[in-house]
Amino acid sequence: MGRDRAFLIAPVGTLTFGVPTVPSRQLALDDRSGLMQLLISASAREGDNAAETVHEATAKVSVLLRGEIGQIWAKGSRGIYDASNAPVAAVVCTLWGGMPIIAYLLTAPGCRERGYASSLVREIAYLADVHGYSSVGILVPPESASIKLLNELGFEELVAPEGL
C-alpha cells in the first residue's frame, strides 16, 4: 500500500454517538457506471481540473470488485441518491482481517458540506455493531481533507497492516 492511502481506525462505539442524518440505501455495486462517475467527480479538487480519468476509475473499481482490498461487504456499502437515482455520496466497505474497512468514502463536489459523509460513516458503524464488529477502518488519500472530519468522528491514523 505504501503512503498512497492513509489507514485510520475507530472503535464502533465512538462512531455511533449520533444517528445517520441522511437516508441512504444499499449501494448497487453492479451499477459500475454510477460508482465510476461518482469516483471521478469526487476526486476533483477545488480549482483542480485533474479529476480521475475513466481509465483510473475503472481500474480502482476493478481492484475493489476483484477483492484485492478485502471481500466487499455489500450490507456495508451504502449510497445517497439524487432525484435522478444517481449516487451523490457513497461508502464502499470491504471485510479485511475480521474488520469492516471503508475502502471509499465519496461525495460529489456539489453535495459536500451537507453531512453526507458523517451520516454514512455513522450508518456503517451502526451496521458494524449490529453484525458484531468492534472497530471500523478506513483508507483515504493521505492529503485528504476528510482526515480532519474522520479525526473528529473518532478515527486515529495507524500504520496499515501488511497487505492492505
Express each pLDDT in 20-37 by its tens digit: 678 898 887 666 777 778
Decide if 1 is inside a domain. Answer: no
User: Cell numbers of 88, please?
Assistant: 451523490
| DSSP, res 40 | H
Indicate if the pLDDT at residue 105 is higher than 80. Answer: yes
**What pLDDT is recorded for position 45?**
54
Decide if 163 is inside a domain. Answer: no
Q: Please tell me which residue, 46 or 8, carries the higher pLDDT value.
A: 8
Decide if 54 is inside a domain. Answer: yes
Separation of first and last alpha carbons in the chain: 6
**What pLDDT is recorded for position 145?**
77
Q: What is the mean pLDDT of residues 58-86?
A: 84
**What pLDDT is recorded for position 95?**
94
Taking Cα atoms as reference points, which of 137, 164, 161 lies closest to residue 11? Answer: 137
Decide if 164 is inside a domain. Answer: no
Decide if 34 is inside a domain. Answer: yes
Mean pLDDT, the chain, as a whole number? 82
Residue 86's domain comprises 6-158
User: Cell numbers of 70, please?
Assistant: 478485502
Q: What is the mean pLDDT of residues 89-94?
A: 92
CATH number at residue 129: 3.40.630.30
Number of domains in the chain: 1
Indicate if the pLDDT at residue 133 is higher than 90. Answer: yes
Decide if 14 is inside a domain. Answer: yes
How far apart, in whole angstroms, are the C-alpha atoms of residue 105 and residue 83?
Answer: 21
Strand partners, 96: 99
Q: What is the mean pLDDT of residues 133-162?
A: 85
Decide if 28 is inside a domain. Answer: yes
